[in-house]
Structure 1
Amino acid sequence: MLRIYEGRLRARAASILLSLEGRLDRIMQGWLLLAGLACAARIATSPIRGPLDAGTIGPYLLLIVAPFASMVLALRWFAEGDRLPQPATRLARIGRWNNLELNAARQHPLYGANGIMVSLLIGMLINVPVRAAEYLAAMPALTGKVPAWLSTLNLLMTMDVVVFTSLYTVAFVAALRRVPLFPRLLAAIWISDLAMQIVTAEIVAGTPGLPTKVAGALHALLEGNVKKVLISAALWLPYLLLSRRVNVTYRHRVPA
């Protein structure tokens, strides 16, 4: 009975993986449509009224275009996928492993971004609209003259959402295309994400005139972001280090 259940799970994961690979164009088109509508709605409902200018529209254009452009570029960068060279220095040293040639790795039953890896793929992809939605909910569209603290906060929050929606998109494509550097790329993104939350909190907290209510809300938002990154790392880092599928697919090695 357990084997039947496991077989169904593997088949379901394989089906989702094929769907992701075959619908990347639709995913990108859907992102442009939904993100564009969400940004337009945010501008229309902003409590800060004034004439629209480049400073108002620019952050939303970046939010819409950056993940799309990142996926297009990543699909080009990683067109060779697993043919890209293995890193010269191994960082994942836990366990004893035997290296495989690429063709031998491809023939291994565990080769590919299947199984539990599909959950990680979906998580990275979903992180993009979730992060964008949090940004749209937290930041009003700015027009005209605004307080220095609000301008600083808007700049940092826009930088955060644009950079990390783009990076998680690149990591998604790297995982999908079985790029050898994917595990350490994702780890580097987690570290950078944590650093960005801390830097944002420090800079904004030191900006004169920051209202107490805004400071409290910002602290809660950044703390939530830090917790999400830490939880993701705690859940997935052991898997990325020890999983036989990950080691076969991305590091081309099997247990000794």
Structure 2
Amino acid sequence: MGKTFEKLNLKSIALMGSLHRNLRTIAVAWILVMSFACGLRLAFSATDIVFGWSAVAAVAPYFLVIASPVAVLFLLLRIFPANGLFAQPEIRLARYGRWRELSCLEANGHPLFGTTGMMASLVIGMLINVPFRSIEFLMAIPALGSHPPLWFSDLFTLMAADLIVMNGLYITAFVMAIRHVPWFPRFLLLVWGVDLCSQLAIAQLVAATPNVPAAVSSALSGLLVGNLQKVLISAAIWLPYLLLSDRVNLTYRRRVRVQT
């Protein structure tokens, strides 16, 4: 059992090292793949695209879907530099257990410090969540075109805005995690809460919107239910880990468990 755990830990170390080295490559791959996917979606828009401002309005949301995660990623990598020393929050929210506070230098030198082990799964999961949600959006929601009905234009704008904002928030949580920012656990909890409230609010608006065809309503409902399920499952799995994990408490709260 000990050897298996050690092998998994070494693999997570190698995986996270590769992730750090290849963030630019990942960003370029994202731009290329999503540009192709968005172009394909636009080619089969709900109404014909006519050259002019209406075409710009149809294309602009997809440009933001592609560009905003990359912009947020590299902006936050500059805001939170590697090996930066960040102040702890003044008020502790995770109070369960008995802990001993460490200095930044003591915590950074501890063998458990960092985003390896199980923490690597959470970090990669947050990053993968962005392309998964984006592809689901492209599959479920047709492009506007130049002359969409008003109800569809409103729903599309709402769903696109939700995708862009939530992708930005998950990328923010990802950067905070890999740069060991102490606010990361509570920020991720906030993101989950925003995500849940957003999906529930959109579901109510969709239900209250008249003249929505059954096929569109079904596709939107499936997308919203899928998003809700992913958030609830993620929170159920990872919230106890964020509260109780020795690695999380050491890396983000600068403390170790007191042995009794």
The bucket for the TM-score relative to the shorter chain is over 0.9
Q: Which amino acid aligns with 1:75?
A: L
> After alignment, is 43-52 or 193-202 more displaced?
43-52
> After alignment, is 218-227 or 57-66 more displaced?
218-227
Alpha-carbon distance, 1:28 to partner:
1.0
| Aligned mate of 2:73, from 53, 71, 74 | 71
Which residue of structure 2 lines up, in the alignment, with residue 138 of structure 1? 140
Asked if 1:188 is matched to 2:171, the reply is: no
Per-residue CA deviations over 1:172-209 (Å, capped at 9, x if unaligned) read 11101111011011110000000110111112221221
Alpha-carbon distance, 1:82 to partner:
5.0
Which residue of structure 2 lines up, in the alignment, with residue 173 of structure 1? 175
> After alignment, is 234-243 or 100-109 more displaced?
100-109
Alpha-carbon distance, 1:81 to partner:
5.5
- CA gap 1:45/1:216 in 2 versus in 1, 3 angstroms: closer
Which residue of structure 1 lines up, in the alignment, with residue 48 of structure 2? 49
- CA gap 1:81/1:179 in 2 versus in 1, 3 angstroms: farther
Asked if 1:26 is matched to 2:25, the reply is: yes
2:160 aligned counterpart, secondary structure: helix
CA distance in 2, matches of 1:47, 1:213: 13
Which residue of structure 2 lines up, in the alignment, with residue 96 of structure 1? 98
> After alignment, is 240-249 or 26-35 more displaced?
26-35
Q: Which amino acid aligns with 2:93?
A: L
| Aligned mate of 2:64, from 59, 62, 65 | 62
Alpha-carbon distance, 1:214 to partner:
2.4
Asked if 1:38 is matched to 2:37, the reply is: yes
What stretches of structure 1 move > 6 A for 4+ residues in a row?
A: none
In angstroms, what is the RMSD of aligned CA positions?
1.3
Per-residue CA deviations over 1:123-173 (Å, capped at 9, x if unaligned) read 011101101101111111112222222111101110111011111111111
Q: Which amino acid aligns with 1:76?
A: R
Given that 2:48 and 2:147 are in contact with CA atoms closer than 8 Å, whether structure 1 keeps it comes out as no
CA distance in 2, matches of 1:50, 1:243: 52
- CA gap 1:81/1:194 in 2 versus in 1, 3 angstroms: farther
Given that 2:107 and 2:250 are in contact with CA atoms closer than 8 Å, whether structure 1 keeps it comes out as yes
Given that 1:82 and 1:250 are in contact with CA atoms closer than 8 Å, whether structure 2 keeps it comes out as no
Alpha-carbon distance, 1:213 to partner:
3.3
TM-score, normalising length: structure 1:
0.96
Q: Which amino acid aligns with 2:38?
A: C
Given that 1:48 and 1:140 are in contact with CA atoms closer than 8 Å, whether structure 2 keeps it comes out as no
For structure 2, the 5+ residue unaligned runs are none
Per-residue CA deviations over 1:84-121 (Å, capped at 9, x if unaligned) read 11001011111111111000111111111111111011
Which residue of structure 1 lines up, in the alignment, with residue 85 of structure 2? 83
Asked if 1:129 is matched to 2:134, the reply is: no
Percent of matched pairs sharing the same residue: 46
Q: Which amino acid aligns with 1:73?
A: L
- CA gap 1:111/1:5 in 2 versus in 1, 3 angstroms: same
Per-residue CA deviations over 1:33-62 (Å, capped at 9, x if unaligned) read 111111111111334223151111001000
Q: Which amino acid aligns with 1:8?
A: K
